[in-house]
Amino acid sequence: MDQIKIGRFIAARRKEQKLTQLQLAEKLGITDRAVSKWETGKSLPDASIMLELCGLLRITVNDLLSGEAVSMENYNEKTEKNLIEMARQKELADKRLLQIEVFICIISSVFLLAMLLLAVYINIPDWLRFVLIGTGFVQFVPAMLLALRIEQVAGYYKCAKCGHKYIPTYLSVNKAMHFGRKRYMKCPECGRKSWQSKVISKSE
């Protein structure tokens, strides 16, 4: 998707509707800085307000993502291209999230280990040992819950029995036995349990 082209298109349609950036922003309940960022191609409108924005600009979501009014004859082709591009961007974002998860796990584990080693091997009063151990776990638990949350929402789990790909609930991810990112879970499609691996794309 060409953000610059989309930005120019938004600006042009906004002016056609005789709206200032501020007026458009107010109708959408956002800041005029956000509108300015779209129009200069620095960001894309959030999916959550895309429909409302398109309504105000009197265009379709397809027009918006194409950065131009799409004619009826190549409408389907443009729709397909936009859908593929959005899927690709989601895959990239998911990959980045999973890298962040690894980073969180490493930093948090190293910190916990350091606190435990200090508490055990350094000659300090007992209360200070407890403080060190406590500090280690107090940062470790939320870090692991956050990592788990990332693992739940980024990409999909793939059933080893039927190949079905889905996003499991937080609870089922949380309580599942796991080995690295592989989790032993029940497939919502075929109902069988298997070691399911993480995949980024629906077509993997």
Summarize as ranges the residues that interact with Zn ion (CB under 5 A): 159, 161-162, 164, 187, 189-190
Report d(CA 43, CA 58) in Å as an integer.
21
Query: What are the backbone angles phi and psi of residue 19, rounded to the nearest 5°?
Result: -115, 145
Query: Across-strand partners of 174?
Result: none
Report d(CA 144, CA 139) in Å as an integer.
9
Judged by beta carbon, residue 7 or residue 168, the one nearer Zn ion is: 168
Please state the closest distance from residue 173 (CB atom) to Zn ion, in A. 16
Judged by beta carbon, residue 34 or residue 159, the one nearer Zn ion is: 159
Please state the closest distance from residue 158 (CB atom) to Zn ion, in A. 9
Judged by beta carbon, residue 52 or residue 189, the one nearer Zn ion is: 189
Please state the closest distance from residue 188 (CB atom) to Zn ion, in A. 8
Judged by beta carbon, residue 135 or residue 172, the one nearer Zn ion is: 172
Judged by beta carbon, residue 23 or residue 172, the one nearer Zn ion is: 172
Judged by beta carbon, residue 45 or residue 155, the one nearer Zn ion is: 155
Pair of tokens at residue 68? 């131009």
Nearest Cα neighbor of 112 from 104, 122, 100, 102 is 104
Please state the closest distance from residue 95 (CB atom) to Zn ion, in A. 24
SS3 string, 70-124, reads CCHHHHHHHHHHHHHHHHHHHHHHHHHHHHHHHHHHHHHHHHHHHHHHHHHHCCC
Report d(CA 91, CA 85) in Å as an integer.
10
**Contact indicator for 202, 91 with CB cutoff of 8 Å:** no
Please state the closest distance from residue 185 (CB atom) to Zn ion, in A. 10
Please state the closest distance from residue 201 (CB atom) to Zn ion, in A. 18
Pair of tokens at residue 142? 């939320």
**Contact indicator for 56, 17 with CB cutoff of 8 Å:** yes
